[in-house]
Chains A and B, each alone.
Chain A
């Protein structure tokens, strides 16, 4: 039976999962430098391992209300199609292998306008893990999508 490693993170009381292959590394959030004319979900940029990376608040991106950062807040740095982006989440403490048979597509009934962020739902016992579609999450208006070169 095949299985896939995921990084699980919490956001607004729910558990989400990202395939660990997508994750470049994880950081504690030290300092975010705001940048002008950024989209509302992009809080600013951070400096990590010699790179300047845009930091996107997933709460804003998902339409939740924002909360102050804590010791448990995490920056999940992902790399997709040559772009590196930091996702600000409430916490991220678990690395887990999820068997494929526990993953099922997102039901149509709960897919709204924002349903395109949700790729699938994994069930771990009585825990539900929302597996997000990273492409959708990172797709922004080209005008507002900064790149590492731009910064």
Chain B
């Protein structure tokens, strides 16, 4: 090892020592810092703890503030409720006051009513007093009436017994009268029987008389009838004669009629024949018209054809005309050429003489041709006019032919109508013929019947003539019969007169008996009526007596009722007086009630005033509590803010604590490293030695 090295080693050792010393100092300072950090840590921890404690206290304060706020709110609520309930109380007190006022009013009205009632009760008391007096009077009067009724009843009983006696005597009288009446009845009956017997005799006589008169009348009637018969028979005979004459003339007439019917039938036959012929003619006419119609249509066709032919001809004439024009043109040109040739020939002088002659001839030919064409043109023009006329004529002819066809059709339909008319006529004529045939048969029958009638009428006339003779003898016999009957009737008339006189006498007798019977019967009837009257009198007296007894009883009862009525009225009087007293008391009491009600109303008014004051006080309290609640809420908010700030402080304290703890750890690790460094430095120093 060189010297330098030595030297270096010495320096190094010194450096190491210095390093170790500095390391020791570092470690020591680190230890101090750690100690300081530990102290800081402890302080921070204490601060955190005290902060936490503070926070807890403030939280508690906030909670208590909240509680107090809640409580004051509830106090406010309850105060409001108190106010509203006081208001309700006030309202109810108002109502009570009103009611008390009304009560006072109604109590006063009640008092007034009670006063009126009292006065009316007093009136009633007076009236009932009067009633009691009059009831007493009625009772005494009724007692008197009862007494008089009793005496009347006694008298009536006496009357009844006397009436009974009278009735008995009348009944005896009645019985004797009835005996007389029955005797009279017997007598009357026997007289009536006698009279009836006489009447019967008289009636029979009268009947006989009447019968004989009837007989005489009958005989007269018979005679009359027979005379009438005779007259009627003569009339019949005359009528029969007339009938015969009339029937003869009728027969003549019927024969004439028959002949005329024959002639009618013949005429009908002829008519039928003629009608059939007319029908045939009409049919032939129809056929002819049909043929003519066909002819017309052929004419039409032909006309149409000829018209078209004529038109065609016109056209051809036009063509001819144009040809003629051409020819004319050629003729003119030829004329012109020949003139020019003539001019040239004249100019040539003698040399052109022959040429001039030829030109002359040519010109002549051309002129002739022109003349001919002019003639042809005229002819063609005339032809065209004629063709035009022919066309219009054929058109007219066509029209006429068509009209004729239509007319022919009309003719056909007319003919058909005629045919149907003819058929109807034929039918009618046939009917007429058969009718005339029937008429003819009927006429024949009429003629036969009339002839029979004539025969019979002649027979009747003969028979009636014989009858007339017979009846004349009957008439004579009847005449003698009539005389005999008149004599019988006269005798019977005399008999009848005698019987009538007997009847008159008997009737007189009977009427006397009847009158007597009627008189006794009337007597009996009168007695009966008397008896009935007495009986009814008796019954009336008895019923009167009974009624009087009842009346007496009723009067007694009435007087008893009157007495009890008087008693009741007295009782009512007493009761009314008591009522009056009670009413007075009620009136007094009502007055007291009225005063009390007035006092009650006043007291209620005072209560009302007090309640209003209470309400305003409670509202005041409510307002103050609201202010208190508001302040409390302010405190609570401030406390919460403070709590937030404390929390911030606590967090920063925590951060400080964390920082000091990190610092402490850093110090510890620094110490460790310092120790490690120191150890290495030690080993380095050892190795170096």
B44 to nearest A CB, angstroms? Answer: 142
**A81-112 vs B, Cβ < 8 Å mask (1 yes, 0 no):** 00000000000111100000000000000000
Determine whether the beta carbon of B367 is less than 8 Å from that of A93: yes
Determine whether the beta carbon of B346 is less than 8 Å from that of A20: yes
A5 contacts which chain B residues (CB < 8 A)? 342-343, 346
Determine whether the beta carbon of A71 is less than 8 Å from that of B328: yes
User: Please, could you name 8 A-B residue pairs with CB atoms under 8 Å apart, sorted by A?
Assistant: A7-B339, A20-B347, A26-B340, A26-B343, A28-B336, A93-B367, A95-B346, A95-B360
Determine whether the beta carbon of B342 is less than 8 Å from that of A20: yes
Given contacts A71-B329, A95-B363, is CB(A20)–CB(B343) below 8 Å? Answer: yes
Known: A28-B333, A92-B339, A95-B363. 15 other contacts (CB 8 A): A7-B339, A20-B343, A20-B346, A21-B346, A21-B347, A23-B343, A25-B340, A25-B343, A27-B336, A71-B329, A72-B332, A93-B335, A95-B339, A95-B346, A95-B360
Rounded to whole angstroms, the CA-CA distance of A23 and B339 in the bound complex is 11
Which of A's residues lie within 8 Å of B, judged by CB?
Answer: 5, 7, 20-21, 23, 25-28, 71-72, 74, 92-95
B382 to nearest A CB, angstroms? Answer: 21
Determine whether the beta carbon of B332 is less than 8 Å from that of A95: no
The one of B328, B336, B347 that contacts A74, using a Cβ cutoff of 8 Å? B336
Rounded to whole angstroms, the CA-CA distance of A21 and B342 in the bound complex is 11
B363 contacts which chain A residues (CB < 8 A)? 93, 95
Which of B's residues lie within 8 Å of A, judged by CB?
Answer: 328-329, 332-333, 335-336, 338-340, 342-343, 346-347, 359-360, 363, 367
The 7 A-B residue pairs with the shortest CB-CB distance in the complex, in nearest-first order: A95-B342, A5-B346, A20-B343, A20-B346, A95-B339, A93-B335, A23-B343
B508 to nearest A CB, angstroms? Answer: 170
- Closest residue of chain B to A74 (Cβ to Cβ) is B336
A51 to nearest B CB, angstroms? Answer: 15
A94 contacts which chain B residues (CB < 8 A)? 339
A21 contacts which chain B residues (CB < 8 A)? 346-347
B347 contacts which chain A residues (CB < 8 A)? 20-21
Given contacts A26-B336, A74-B336, is CB(A95)–CB(B329) below 8 Å? Answer: no
A72 contacts which chain B residues (CB < 8 A)? 332
Please classify the interface of chain B as helix (H, G, I), strand (E, B), loop, or mixed, using the class held by over half of its residues.
helix
Determine whether the beta carbon of B346 is less than 8 Å from that of A26: no
Determine whether the beta carbon of A7 is less than 8 Å from that of B343: yes
A79 to nearest B CB, angstroms? Answer: 12
B329 contacts which chain A residues (CB < 8 A)? 71
- Closest residue of chain B to A97 (Cβ to Cβ) is B346
The one of A20, A23, A71 that contacts B332, using a Cβ cutoff of 8 Å? A71
Rounded to whole angstroms, the CA-CA distance of A21 and B346 in the bound complex is 8
Determine whether the beta carbon of A93 is less than 8 Å from that of B333: no
Rounded to whole angstroms, the CA-CA distance of A55 and B154 in the bound complex is 196
Determine whether the beta carbon of B332 is less than 8 Å from that of A28: yes
A26 contacts which chain B residues (CB < 8 A)? 336, 339-340, 343
Rounded to whole angstroms, the CA-CA distance of A74 and B343 in the bound complex is 15
A131 to nearest B CB, angstroms? Answer: 16
Rounded to whole angstroms, the CA-CA distance of A26 and B363 in the bound complex is 14
Among A5, A74, A92, A95, residue most surrounded by chain B Cβ atoms (within 10 Å): A95
A28 contacts which chain B residues (CB < 8 A)? 332-333, 336
A93 contacts which chain B residues (CB < 8 A)? 335, 339, 363, 367
A71 contacts which chain B residues (CB < 8 A)? 328-329, 332
Rounded to whole angstroms, the CA-CA distance of A74 and B360 in the bound complex is 19
A10 to nearest B CB, angstroms? Answer: 13
- Closest residue of chain B to A24 (Cβ to Cβ) is B343
Rounded to whole angstroms, the CA-CA distance of A32 and B317 in the bound complex is 33
Rounded to whole angstroms, the CA-CA distance of A29 and B346 in the bound complex is 24
B359 contacts which chain A residues (CB < 8 A)? 95
Among B336, B346, B359, residue most surrounded by chain A Cβ atoms (within 10 Å): B346
B358 to nearest A CB, angstroms? Answer: 13
Determine whether the beta carbon of B343 is less than 8 Å from that of A95: yes
- Closest residue of chain B to A96 (Cβ to Cβ) is B342
A23 contacts which chain B residues (CB < 8 A)? 343
- Closest residue of chain B to A73 (Cβ to Cβ) is B332
A20 contacts which chain B residues (CB < 8 A)? 342-343, 346-347
B372 to nearest A CB, angstroms? Answer: 15
A22 to nearest B CB, angstroms? Answer: 10
- Closest residue of chain A to B344 (Cβ to Cβ) is A25
B338 contacts which chain A residues (CB < 8 A)? 95
- Closest residue of chain A to B366 (Cβ to Cβ) is A93
